[in-house]
Amino acid sequence: MNIGVMALQGAFIEHKEKLDALGIDNFYIRNLEDLKKHKDGLILPGGESTAMYKLLTELHMFDELKQQIESGLPTFGTCAGLILLAKTLTNQEHAFLKVMDVAVTRNAYGRQLSSFITHDLFNNKKIPMVFIRAPYIESAGDDVEILSVVNDKIVAARQNHLLGTAFHPELADNLTIHKYFIGMIKK
């Protein structure tokens, strides 16, 4: 198994470290040539979604990325990655990839100073969750499985080959969600 980690901006190093800890082959994706390499899965890290979108566009990667995801590439988006995947953004006119049937509210928990860490359930298992200028899922389509709700807000969901979290599992000392994503790929 080999997983590509989008490495244009954001917390990509931490995702690589989690995959390394699990013994999963992985590589950074920094340009169109990297994006076209064979991979069994893809991680879109947290960071700043607008900056990521601009880089994906400027580097001529956006259309190829969207095509790969729409063709069934297992994809895991954290925070900004979830925002990129969402079909709708409730507080922004333009959504990005529009591949996951969720409506996401950007910066829903406020500014950087409002960031927090909590422990709550993901797929019925209690894990640490790091929220940094985090979004949440306002609503989800009928075929979207809700995996985590914190304070009445949807913060993790899955739709077929797509997994999205509003928080940063790569910043916590826990491998549960990365293991879950690897399990998705294996199926």
| 18's tokens | 């989690």
Output the pLDDT for position 112.
56
Bridge partners of 145? Answer: 158
**What tens digit of pLDDT does each residue of 92-149 get?**
888 999 999 999 998 766 555 558 899 999 999 999 999 988 899 999 999 999 999 9
User: Is 168 a catalytic site residue?
Assistant: yes
3-state secondary structure of 45: coil
User: Is 64 a catalytic site residue?
Assistant: no
Catalytic residue among 15, 161, 170, 178: 170
End-to-end, the C-alpha distance of the chain in Å comes to: 12
Among residues 61, 59, 78, the alpha carbon closest in space to that of 162 is found at 78
Output the pLDDT for position 187.
86
Neighbour-count burial for 163-184, b at 16+ CB within 10 Å, e otherwise: bbbbbbbbbbebeebbebbbeb
**What tens digit of pLDDT does each residue of 39-56 get?**
999 999 998 999 999 999
Output the pLDDT for position 153.
94
For residue 36, the domain's CATH number is 3.40.50.880
User: Is 145 a catalytic site residue?
Assistant: no
Q: How many domains does the chain have?
A: 1
Q: Which domain holds residue 26?
A: 2-186
Look at phi and psi of residue 23 and say left if phi exceeds 0, alpha if psi is from -120 to 50, else beta: left
The torsion angles phi and psi of 79, rounded to 5 degrees, stand at 55, -100
Catalytic residue among 15, 79, 161, 178: 79
